Chain A
Amino acid sequence: MKIVTICGAGIGSSGVLKVNAERALRALDLEATVVAADVSTVKVVAADAQIILTTQEFVEAIGKTNADIIVVVNLFDTSELKQKLESALG
């Protein structure tokens, strides 16, 4: 499974989101490759992704995609991430 985290520059928020998503996946005992990217590359990077993790600001720019988009509010809230990943994958 592939998960892509998206932010504006592909280095800050998406990096934090990647680290914390990996933490949540470990806690859920799920395996996935998590890739951080900037929104301008989303069409290419997320072409084969099941899930896109991002914040509200980028939903419109991401546009049409086959992946499930999960919108995260607090990037450090592992329980929020766990719950949202679990319901998307479950």
Chain B
Amino acid sequence: MPLPPLPESAIDIGAFAADWRAAVSLSGDALVRSGAAKPGYAGEMIRMIENFGPYVVIAPGLALAHARPGPEVIANGLSVVTLSEPVRFGHAHNDPVRVVLGLAIAESGAHLAAVAAVANIFNDSSAIGQIAEATSAAEVQQIMGVIPS
């Protein structure tokens, strides 16, 4: 199953974020660098959490930031931000977050294979820790099974 594109430009290693909004913004910046989203997409991802709560923290230490398909999305894409200092999202069980994934989906309906591919990576419960400790973008790509272009 195809993972959404995750080029080196969409990977930010050891970044500092003062709070969860800053962490989500970094994942949006990474999607802008890789050409998957426009700058406004970060704000949409933040609004999803403001509206619905910290449910995007889908496993201990891991947030899957995303918004709906829409005009701020250019193409399917994934970004990975590892945080130098873990950040709290306010989740009752899965805080603090060390790894933020940003997900942009251009068209709903065709996205499930892509999300399934993301899910398959994290069914290995050691993957979050490995990504959090990675020291290079290439290492993150390797853990996530991305063939570097």
Contacting B at CB under 8 A, from A25-82, are: 36, 38-39, 55-58, 61, 73-78
Interface size on B, as a range, is 20 to 34
Contacting A at CB under 8 A, from B36-72, are: 48, 51-56, 58-60, 64, 66-69
Which chain A residue has the least Cβ–Cβ distance from B64? A12
Q: Mark A8-35, 1 if CB is under 8 A from B, else 0.
A: 1111110110111001000000000000
Which B residues are in CB contact (< 8 Å) with A9? 48, 66-68
Partner of B120, one of A8, A19, A77: A19
Partner of B64, one of A16, A19, A57: A16
Is A12 a contact partner of B103 (Cβ separation < 8 A)?
A: yes
> Which of A36, A58, A61, A76: most chain B CB closer than 10 A?
A76
Contacting A at CB under 8 A, from B80-103, are: 92-94, 103
Which chain A residue has the least Cβ–Cβ distance from B51? A8
Is B55 a contact partner of A19 (Cβ separation < 8 A)?
A: no
Which B residues are in CB contact (< 8 Å) with A74? 58-60, 93-94
Partner of B55, one of A15, A20, A57: A57
Is B52 a contact partner of A57 (Cβ separation < 8 A)?
A: yes
Q: Mark B105-120, 1 if CB is under 8 A from A, else 0.
A: 1001001100110111
Is B68 a contact partner of A57 (Cβ separation < 8 A)?
A: no
Does B125 reach chain A (CB closer than 8 Å)?
yes
Is A11 a contact partner of B56 (Cβ separation < 8 A)?
A: no
Does B123 reach chain A (CB closer than 8 Å)?
yes
A10-B68 contact in complex given A18-B112, A75-B58, C-beta closer than 8 Å:
yes
Q: Contacts A7-B55, A74-B93 given; 7 further ones with Cβ under 8 A?
A: A11-B68, A15-B116, A56-B55, A56-B92, A58-B52, A61-B52, A74-B58
Show the binding face of A for B, using Cβ within 8 Å: 7-13, 15-16, 18-20, 23, 36, 38-39, 55-58, 61, 73-78
